[in-house]
Amino acid sequence: RLWHEYRRGSDEALELLLLYNQEDVMNMGTLLAHGCAELAGKLGIPSP
């Protein structure tokens, strides 16, 4: 929905999309660490 609003020219929708994107990027490190630890556990590899 926000994407469509942005495509129709809404600057407010763009600002929200950018904020959501920033939050997603900030959480990627945590998600990556969790995923790597889970995979390491399944493969029997010690993780820090």
The pLDDT value given to residue 2: 94
Whole-model pTM: value is: 0.65
The pLDDT value given to residue 47: 77
The pLDDT value given to residue 37: 94
CA angle 37, 21, 48 (to 5 degrees): 15
Cα separations in angstroms, 47 against 31, 32, 43: 15, 13, 11
SS3 assignment, position 1: coil
Q: How many CB atoms lie within 10 A of CB 46?
A: 6
**pLDDT per residue of the chain (48 residues) written in tens, 0 to 9:** 999 999 999 999 999 999 999 999 999 999 999 999 999 999 999 876
Q: Which residue has the tokens 């590899």?
A: 45
- Write down the domain spans for the chain: 2-42
